[in-house]
Amino acid sequence: MTLVLTLVSQSKDVGPLAQAAPGGAGDVVDRSGGGWRVAEREVAGGAELVSWLEAETPGAGADWAITPKGNRKKRLLISDMDSTIIGQECLDELADFAGLKAEVSAITERAMRGELDFAGALTQRVAMLKGLKLGALEACHSDRVRLNPGARELVATMKAHGARAVLVSGGFGYFTSRVAKMAGFDADRANTLIDNGMALTGEVGMPILGREAKLTALLEETAALGLTANDAVALGDGANDLDMIKAAGLGIAYHAKPIVAAQTTARIQHTDLRAALFFQGYAVGDFVSA
């Protein structure tokens, strides 16, 4: 199988890196434009190349992906929400309205690193918010939730080229429904916060959408389109995203926890979500502004 190394930076020329990559073959292709530095080259792949990239790319502020040469432009975008499409963890921000952000954030961090059972950590954190007035949800969304750079362009560009976009989160539908509209997603899947009409009850709707459910979402969405997992690009940052990232034809670790980054060959750490378009072979001239 022929593989392609894509290097993307917003600060330095990545052509020399592509030229120096272990196992490289053929000429370096420069696809730079619009302030982006982008270079591609066919490579053999393998652990040596990944280790080299981990050591050499940070100095250039470069993100990278090693992908098969064929079927690059994916027909399904499926993405995590918290700390991926948006820059926040909604549950942590919501806990701030209850004066519990530090305590809840500490549990979130451990869960995203894969140190805690996701479902158990979720129910524990939501229980801590029992009695929080519903007005806090709207205040949290309007005052705290912001899209990460490139989110709208990523979704709009893929949709303009015939892809479906689905937001899937271990967080809550109150936020995913709103973020999906902000970013242009076609659909969203998430957990449900239970309330009594005035305040949160401290309970989560069952079953909990966790790691396995995210993988199920990927498989169901591709099947509904008459596609396979190889036709999807999946993005996420936490341990609960890992199964769908590994199953997708292009699985991208976005500012990811070590347990996630270590098991991927496509990583965005220095630029923004538009790098996922370059990884699929799009050029700057293909980008669509939402």
pLDDT digits 0-9 by tens, 199-223? 999 999 999 999 999 999 999 999 9
Please indicate, yes or no, if residue 124 is contained in any of the structural domains: no
- Amino acid 170 reads G
Summarised one tens digit per residue, pLDDT across range 267-281 is 999 999 999 999 999
What's 251's domain CATH number?
3.40.50.1000
Indicate whether 3 and 77 sit together in one domain: no
pLDDT surpasses 90 at 87? yes
What DSSP character marks residue 234?
E
Please indicate, yes or no, if residue 161 is contained in any of the structural domains: yes
Mean pLDDT, rounded, for 218-243: 98
Indicate whether 218 and 288 sit together in one domain: yes
Among residues 70, 103, 122, which one ends one of the domains?
Answer: 70
Which of 80, 188, 241, 243 is flagged as catalytic? Answer: 80
Annotated catalytic residue 272: no
Place of tokens 């809550």: 172
Higher pLDDT, 261 or 1: 261
pLDDT surpasses 80 at 290? no
CA–CA dist 126, 205 (Å, integer): 11
pLDDT surpasses 80 at 227? yes
Closest alpha carbon to 290 in 124, 104, 179, 154? 154
Mean pLDDT, rounded, for 158-172: 97
CA–CA dist 4, 38 (Å, integer): 13
Annotated catalytic residue 27: no
- Amino acid 207 reads P
Mean pLDDT, rounded, for 33-46: 96
Question: Per-residue confidence at 1, pLDDT binned at 50, 70, 90?
Answer: confident
Please indicate, yes or no, if residue 97 is contained in any of the structural domains: no
Mean pLDDT, rounded, for 16-34: 95
Query: Up-side HSE of residue 257: CA atoms within 13 Å toward CB?
Result: 18
Please indicate, yes or no, if residue 140 is contained in any of the structural domains: no
Indicate whether 66 and 163 sit together in one domain: no
Please indicate, yes or no, if residue 95 is contained in any of the structural domains: no
pLDDT at site 106: 96
pLDDT at site 22: 96
Query: Up-side HSE of residue 56: CA atoms within 13 Å toward CB?
Result: 18
Indicate whether 75 and 49 sit together in one domain: no
Among residues 38, 70, 102, which one ends one of the domains?
Answer: 70
pLDDT surpasses 90 at 143? yes
Please indicate, yes or no, if residue 114 is contained in any of the structural domains: no
Provide the number of structural domains found in the chain.
2
Indicate whether 62 and 163 sit together in one domain: no
Indicate whether 237 and 277 sit together in one domain: yes
Tokens of 21: 């990559």
Please indicate, yes or no, if residue 99 is contained in any of the structural domains: no
pLDDT surpasses 80 at 122? yes
Domain of 276 in residue numbering reads as: 71-87+147-290
Indicate whether 50 and 159 sit together in one domain: no
Mean pLDDT, rounded, for 154-169: 98
Three-class secondary structure assignment of 80-120:
CHHHHHECCCHHHHHHHCCCCHHHHHHHHHHHHCCCCCHHH
For the chain, counts of helices (H) and of strands (E): 12, 12
Which of 27, 63, 82, 195 is flagged as catalytic? Answer: 82
Task: Give yes or no for a contact between 149 and 136, defined as CB atoms under 8 angstroms apart.
Answer: no
Mean pLDDT, rounded, for 126-149: 97
Among residues 70, 100, 125, which one ends one of the domains?
Answer: 70
What's 42's domain CATH number?
3.30.70
Indicate whether 60 and 155 sit together in one domain: no
Indicate whether 188 and 211 sit together in one domain: yes
Indicate whether 184 and 211 sit together in one domain: yes
Across all residues in the chain, what is the average pLDDT?
96
pLDDT at site 42: 97
pLDDT at site 94: 96
- Amino acid 288 reads V
CA–CA dist 264, 279 (Å, integer): 13
Please indicate, yes or no, if residue 158 is contained in any of the structural domains: yes
CA–CA dist 126, 138 (Å, integer): 17
Indicate whether 64 and 153 sit together in one domain: no
CA–CA dist 248, 230 (Å, integer): 5
pLDDT surpasses 90 at 260? yes
Indicate whether 152 and 214 sit together in one domain: yes
Tokens of 73: 């432009």
